[in-house]
Amino acid sequence: MQISGKTRLYGVIGDPIEHTLSPAIQNAAFAAMKMDCIFLAFHVKPAEVEKQSAACEAWASAELNVTMPHKNSVIAYLDQ
């Protein structure tokens, strides 16, 4: 996998998040489909959800999945 300025960022936020298999699964799928994408896991504490939401908005090519306990608190920061 070659990461470039065109690589699309996908990920998941949660607390805890270290146990997730999502990056391995998603990155294997991206590689199999020869997609210029990467999937990362981000440890975001509940008090940091607002900052993470602002950061994601600034990353025009980023899309994040949200796990518990953030599903309810992130709603306030969604625009769609």
* Tokens read off for 53: 């939401």
Q: Which residue has the tokens 């699309």?
A: 8
Active site residue 6: no
Q: Which residue in 34, 45, 51, 71 is the catalytic one?
A: 71
State the catalytic residues.
71
